Structure 1
Amino acid sequence: MLSALGLVSLPALAQSSDEDELAMSYGDKSFVSIATGSRVPVTRAPAVATVITTEDIAAIGATDLDDILETVPGLHVARSTQVYAPIYVVRGINIGFNPQVLMLINGVPITVTYTGNRGSGWGGMPVENIARVEVIRGPGSALYGADAFSGVINIITKSAAEIDGTQVGVRAGSFNTKDGWMLHGGKWGGIDVAAYLRAGTTDGARRTVRADAQTAWDALVGTTASLAPGAVNNDRDFVDGMLDLSLDKWRLHFDYRERDLGSGTGVASALDPSGKSYSQNVSADLSYEDKSFAQNWAVSLQGSLMHYKEFTDAVLFPAGTRLAFSGPVFADGLIGNPDKWERHGRLNASATYTGFEDHRIRLGIGWEKEEVYRTRETKNFYYDDAAKTYLPIGTGSWADVTDVSRTAPFMEPQGRYKRYVYAQDEWSLAADWTLTAGIRHDRYSDFGSTTNPRLALVWDAAYNVTGKLMYGTAFRAPSMSELYAINNPVVRGNANLKPERIRTLEAALTWQPLSRLQLGMNVFQYEMSDIIRLVNFAYENTGHQNGRGVEFEAEWEYSKTLRLSGNYAYQHSVDEATDQDAGNSPHHHVYARADWRFIPGWSLHSQVNWISKRMRVAGDPRADLAGYETVDLTLKTDRGSSAWSFAVSVRNLLDKDVREPSPYEALGNGQVYLPYDFPMPGRSIYAQASYKF
């Protein structure tokens, strides 16, 4: 992995013949497309970005996108109460269900509008079909619009040329994990065809939860219903498919993702051993790109559709619970299952003009529609205003579960339109100086308009030194649940919400003092405003948060068979309302990796990931969450001329007790719902084999 404030590169003039073998083994990291929308050298990219190649992915032993992202400086993968979904904490921003990070697949957003993130049924992404992952830390709304707030993640899938043939693979490992996949890349007449199919299943790491939300209720009302101590429900079944067809300037891409996920620590933070969340995401996009449309003009057109549905089959609180001192007992537990269906449509066009000397001008326009077009809810309880508590329908049994979709739904179907325009100029204003200036205007049908600029000044101070100064703003649009949630006394929507906003100032320096040594550093400061939070059970724009930090990176090619790399990130974020630490994010994060090709065709890869303690949010009575360090080892073959390749990987080799912070949720008596946080997997091992023909 190679990254830095602008992304450190391997300039051709600095490579020697001794480096060629190892450098070629780790792919092309010299260019990045996410920073400007077009392919530019990473040293001149007007953003703090990171590129991870398919070779890096294999070296770190990654089996899921989360394994990749944990290696990015300034980014840490935490967990949420919703089926253990990942929270991508960028520079200390860990708020709600993580709608502040925009995820793209081949440049197309996969945002679910109900929650504003990737959906509770996201369930991760396998890596076999990933060619590159490009990550921006910091604002990207001037180019990408909503939710490109604290960061942007673009996943680029493999083309027919990159697959070049047919590959089949299998993997098996701890927790009864089994995966199988197939990749194909070739020609069908004049059409380039890339296809991918993968299916997998796992029981998950069934770590013990010592106390849960029901434990707190039991202590308050005198029941003994809690299933804690008990195991996390991390059963998971996956299906992924992709078909990509390219002909000349046209590309048609289809994606399919299906997830059947266990309930983690429970939807309501009470253990639910049989609870499930099912999701299905089907998307298609058609794009046209002509780099020689006319003299000095290049154009790009794209249309995309996405359909997402998510169902739950969960028990919020177990059998025998009651939610008041003298209230009735729920015979089979508190059962509530909201289901939703979404559809999205997008059209966009951009044009790049290079007819002005020393300027590259990019213009864009787009239209989007997103809607939760259907909702359904079944439950066996209701809220009694007089008693100020939840009471059972009937005896609170499964037989009493009632469809309330027409009488008291959690949200009526809702939709919105948005339109946007943007302009960007890359200006070589002097020798060795480039100024990138961009601005984008978004207009939403529900909350109005927002305009976001960005500026980046890049200076090639010497042949091996590049400096950058960057400023940008970004916004995060309110989700449908934040705007329109109803019939829930503890969570109410607010149709008057404004978007969250952030301003970020960054400076970066990359330096290659030796042909085999590359260094990078960046410093940043941000100010968040209008943060959307629950206040007296209703969403309000009330929060403000400031943060600052520094990130260092280094890569050293010690020899043609040994490469060392690593990064260190520091951040300090403050909640202005309390003038205390924003909480739940590590102040220090260290990552180190060694890649050793010890004999031809075989390589050993080791990595260490150290996370410092995490301070709690204001008011949380728990002690700070201890940090941890994990060690991973991967032994693999290089395919070379052989059709077979093999890999064995051990994660958390030393079997450390890894925990991620649970949110601060508590009853009036101070009992915290998940007092011992989210337990993560201990030591695990997997082996895989693939064959290419």
Structure 2
Amino acid sequence: MTLKQTFCLYLCLSAAPILAAESEDLFSMSFEDLLNVQVDIGSNTSETLASAPSTITVFNKQKINLLGVDSAYELMNFVPGMQSTRGDWVGAVPKDHARGVYLDSGNVLVMINGERINESSFGKASVYMPFIPIEIIEKVEFIRGPGSALYGSNAFMGVMNVVTKHDVNEVTAMIGSNGKRGVSLSAHYQFNEDVNAFTSLAINKKEGDYYPQGVRDPLESIYFEAGVDINELQLRGRYNKVELDEFINLAGYSKQNQHQSENHFVSVAYDWLQNTTTQLTTKVAYSEHDIQSAGLILAASNNPFAENDFLNGPAWTTSDLKVNIDFKHLLTNDWVVNAGYEFSDAQQKSAGVRTNFYDQASGNIILDDAYYLGQISTIKEFAPFASLKASFETHSVYGQLKIPLSETVTVFLGSRFDDVKNIESKLSPRFATIYQPTPANTFKLQYGESFRTPVTNELYSNDDVTVGNPELRSEYVKTTELVWRHEAKSWHSNMVLFHNQLHDFISTIPQENKTNMFTFSNQLDDTNRGVEIDSRWNITPEISLTGTYTQYFDEPIKPTFKRFASIISSYQLDQWLFSINALWRGEVKGETLTAAPFVQSSYMLFSATSRYSINDKSHLTLKMYNLFDKQYNTYDPRVANGAVAGVSREISLNYSMDF
């Protein structure tokens, strides 16, 4: 280990996780207030980070701004046990690494305001929403570990919940290197004591940097959200569109690679009963996800029958109708009961293909120049994909009991039962015991089970690459955690020891008849153990140091980072605020597609932010990502040489104004 890496790890062991503060000024709250921020993602009851029955990390908008990131997915790099990298799919859709699991199937549940983004075709949220702009974010909450007892499928190795801005009036503008530019607006208006409304709009574009592979990584994104509250009635709507072209796909880098995704969401909720002891709420929500992609599958140089590259991808639409009834009640002995019912009807409504080789007569893709279309075209009705147009009807019931046994001991007991029609039923229990012998020390023993239902691509695919397996079972994990949290006057730390028992993980395996290259099978069982450390030190009222460190004791089931860390230092001087952060990732060893050994060396990335307050309502922020323009790769086993190029240096200047 180099001196630089050793220094980083030393600081991380004596520094901090990012905690949320509901304040406009990062330093306006006391350290004690920061520790008592209320969160409910882990229990459906309002808890502090110390009293919550899950391992939680929270980012507020001020601390997000300090990190110089552009998207919610990038925040994963500052969460113990989690990482996010660009993957091998069209436009470098983000991939998540969580507690030693690096699989391309949606093992982290992503939500916006408590509504799931993961859907039924690919399972992973980032395919359909690969960019969630920070300009619209109020805070982001992470559960590290199981969450199925509350949220069902995909809340497997973790949960990310993005909470958007609903009560601010703010406008921002941004310009930067590589053609970066963007504008955003968040507005809120209180018509009277019974009616209020909000809206958010963010538009981001960039031309992208030039890479040695001869491509760029452009981005176009629009996010719009609006809502109205009328007494006990809440109406919500959301629209998102993202385009990521060029960069990379399975067979390599190509200027022809294309990716576009669109998302629509509407919901209606009503509070039938809400007082100091009881709350009864119903909600009906509908979401629709559309993807239009085509990426390099086979280069012309590797195809003896054609002189043109073969590009192919999905033209798919999925939808999800959900009805939820949620009940909360505070009993006379201070016990708290949570219970609910949820109905979900998830459908893959269309399953076309986007391709540049196609035989109209037979309805097949034929890699011969005689069937070259001259451009990428959309085939709406593609016979091999017909079986993908399936539906998942799910009925779920869940319950939780919070039992304060004494002033120092609290117990949480809960479970959720999900019945997925024609697939499988799963019971996801969990319990937690929280012991606080002194105000400075909290100990937790937590156990939970989580699962992930197989998706249509795994169950019913039928193309030249994969064939589905309708006999697949759900993946599931059993997680035990021991947590020690220490809080001092100006310093706090957390240590989490976790033990995961992984069962029935779905993996691709070669087809015996070789008609298709791969099929899917429940073939992976494994154990993953590790330690996650995070801490914060307020050196003075103006200077703070924050850090995380993660170490796995076992080899991950697929090659991924076994050790990684982050550190953030912040300094405030009058109207100025300065921040420097660093990410360190350890060595990764794997194989390329040719089974040749691959070694990804450890590396460190630095970023910096400086913020100047012009007055109480307007601010200028300079962000510098990958400050020293580090040239690095991350490992992905499906890329020919095993490497995906990392993001080079990006600089942006942001102006924000409250009104």
Fold conserved between structures, TM > 0.5: yes
Counterpart for residue 285 of structure 1 = 267
Counterpart for residue 138 of structure 2 = 131
Secondary structure of 2:598's counterpart equals coil
State the 1:601 CA deviation: 1.6
State the 1:317 CA deviation: 3.0
C-alpha distance 206-410 of structure 1, shift in aligned 2 (>3 A)? farther
Give matches, 1:443-482, under 5 Å.
443-482=419-458
State the 1:495 CA deviation: 1.0
Secondary structure of 1:143's counterpart equals helix
Secondary structure of 2:237's counterpart equals strand
Counterpart for residue 227 of structure 1 = none
Q: Distance in 1 between matches of 2:87 and 2:262?
A: 20
For structure 1, the residue ranges without an aligned partner over 5 or more in a row are: 12-18, 209-229, 384-388, 575-580, 666-672
Establish whether residue 261 from structure 1 lines up as the match of residue 244 from structure 2: yes
Counterpart for residue 540 of structure 1 = 521
Match of residue 677, structure 1, among 613, 621, 643: 643
C-alpha distance 548-406 of structure 1, shift in aligned 2 (>3 A)? closer
Secondary structure of 1:41's counterpart equals coil
Establish whether residue 71 from structure 1 lines up as the match of residue 78 from structure 2: yes
Counterpart for residue 627 of structure 1 = 602
Counterpart for residue 149 of structure 1 = 156
Q: Distance in 2 between matches of 1:38 and 1:559?
A: 33
Conserved 8 A contact 1:140-1:151? yes
Conserved 8 A contact 2:293-2:354? no
Conserved 8 A contact 2:591-2:598? no
> What's the CA shift string for 1:475-518, capped at 9, x where partnerless?
001011101111x1430111111100101110001112x31111
User: Equivalent pairs: percent with the same residue?
Assistant: 19
Q: Distance in 2 between matches of 1:650 and 1:515?
A: 32
Counterpart for residue 88 of structure 1 = 96
Establish whether residue 186 from structure 1 lines up as the match of residue 189 from structure 2: yes
State the 1:118 CA deviation: 1.0
State the 1:399 CA deviation: 7.4
State the 1:548 CA deviation: 0.6
Conserved 8 A contact 2:292-2:316? yes
Task: Supply the AA of the counterpart residue of 2:644.
Answer: F
State the 1:616 CA deviation: 1.8
Q: Distance in 2 between matches of 1:586 and 1:640?
A: 43
Conserved 8 A contact 1:610-1:629? yes
Secondary structure of 1:372's counterpart equals strand
Match of residue 560, structure 1, among 541, 557, 562: 541
State the 1:400 CA deviation: 10
State the 1:300 CA deviation: 2.1
Match of residue 276, structure 1, among 258, 276, 279: 258
Secondary structure of 2:333's counterpart equals coil
Conserved 8 A contact 1:460-1:466? yes
Counterpart for residue 616 of structure 1 = 590
Conserved 8 A contact 1:281-1:309? yes
State the 1:85 CA deviation: 1.1
Q: Distance in 1 between matches of 2:548 and 2:378?
A: 53
Task: Supply the AA of the counterpart residue of 2:569.
Answer: A
State the 1:561 CA deviation: 1.0
State the 1:409 CA deviation: 3.2
Q: Distance in 1 between matches of 2:603 and 2:17?
A: 28
> What's the CA shift string for 1:372-394, capped at 9, x where partnerless?
111222545579xxxxx964262
Task: Supply the AA of the counterpart residue of 1:627.
Answer: S
Task: Supply the AA of the counterpart residue of 2:328.
Answer: T
Match of residue 172, structure 1, among 175, 188, 193: 175
Match of residue 223, structure 2, among 236, 240, 245: 240
State the 1:233 CA deviation: 4.0
> What's the CA shift string for 1:517-569, capped at 9, x where partnerless?
11111100101111111112111111112111111111111111111111111
Q: Distance in 1 between matches of 2:295 and 2:110?
A: 28
Q: Distance in 1 between matches of 2:284 and 2:635?
A: 39
Give matches, 1:194-273, under 5 Å.
194-208=198-212, 230-266=213-249, 268-273=250-255
Q: Distance in 1 between matches of 2:268 and 2:17?
A: 30
State the 1:610 CA deviation: 0.9
Q: Distance in 1 between matches of 2:450 and 2:591?
A: 24
Q: Distance in 2 between matches of 1:520 and 1:544?
A: 29
Secondary structure of 2:385's counterpart equals coil
Establish whether residue 350 from structure 1 lines up as the match of residue 353 from structure 2: no
Give matches, 1:374-453, under 5 Å.
374-379=350-355, 381=357, 391-392=367-368, 394-398=370-374, 403=379, 405-409=381-385, 411-453=387-429
C-alpha distance 24-205 of structure 1, shift in aligned 2 (>3 A)? farther
Q: Distance in 1 between matches of 2:294 and 2:591?
A: 31
Conserved 8 A contact 2:535-2:548? yes
> What's the CA shift string for 1:88-147, capped at 9, x where partnerless?
2111110124x1000111111011211001152423111112111110011011111001
State the 1:66 CA deviation: 2.7
Secondary structure of 1:430's counterpart equals coil
Q: Distance in 1 between matches of 2:322 and 2:378?
A: 37
Q: Distance in 2 between matches of 1:26 and 1:353?
A: 27
Conserved 8 A contact 2:347-2:392? yes
Secondary structure of 2:252's counterpart equals coil
C-alpha distance 478-617 of structure 1, shift in aligned 2 (>3 A)? farther
State the 1:680 CA deviation: 0.9
Conserved 8 A contact 1:8-1:518? no
C-alpha distance 461-692 of structure 1, shift in aligned 2 (>3 A)? same
Q: Distance in 2 between matches of 1:691 and 1:532?
A: 48
> What's the CA shift string for 1:225-254, capped at 9, x where partnerless?
xxxxx2344121111101021233332211
C-alpha distance 617-452 of structure 1, shift in aligned 2 (>3 A)? farther
C-alpha distance 662-611 of structure 1, shift in aligned 2 (>3 A)? same
> What's the CA shift string for 1:312-361, capped at 9, x where partnerless?
2445334x4454xxx42x23332434301111110111111222514111
Secondary structure of 2:149's counterpart equals helix
Number of aligned residue pairs: 628
Task: Supply the AA of the counterpart residue of 2:145.
Answer: G
Conserved 8 A contact 1:583-1:617? no
Q: Distance in 2 between matches of 1:63 and 1:382?
A: 38
State the 1:644 CA deviation: 2.0
C-alpha distance 66-399 of structure 1, shift in aligned 2 (>3 A)? closer
Conserved 8 A contact 1:121-1:277? no
Counterpart for residue 218 of structure 1 = none
Task: Supply the AA of the counterpart residue of 2:253.
Answer: L
Q: Distance in 2 between matches of 1:3 and 1:44?
A: 23
Secondary structure of 1:398's counterpart equals strand
Secondary structure of 2:135's counterpart equals coil
Q: Distance in 2 between matches of 1:343 and 1:680?
A: 33
CA-atom RMSD, angstroms? 2.8
C-alpha distance 640-429 of structure 1, shift in aligned 2 (>3 A)? farther
State the 1:589 CA deviation: 1.3
Q: Distance in 1 between matches of 2:17 and 2:66?
A: 19
> What's the CA shift string for 1:580-629, capped at 9, x where partnerless?
x534322211211111002x221101111111111226994323211111
Q: Distance in 1 between matches of 2:260 and 2:382?
A: 23
Conserved 8 A contact 1:7-1:48? no
> What's the CA shift string for 1:363-420, capped at 9, x where partnerless?
111100111111222545579xxxxx96426253527979482544364421120000
Give matches, 1:315-354, under 5 Å.
315-318=296-299, 320-323=300-303, 327-328=304-305, 330-354=306-330
State the 1:278 CA deviation: 1.2
Conserved 8 A contact 1:473-1:501? yes
C-alpha distance 356-22 of structure 1, shift in aligned 2 (>3 A)? closer
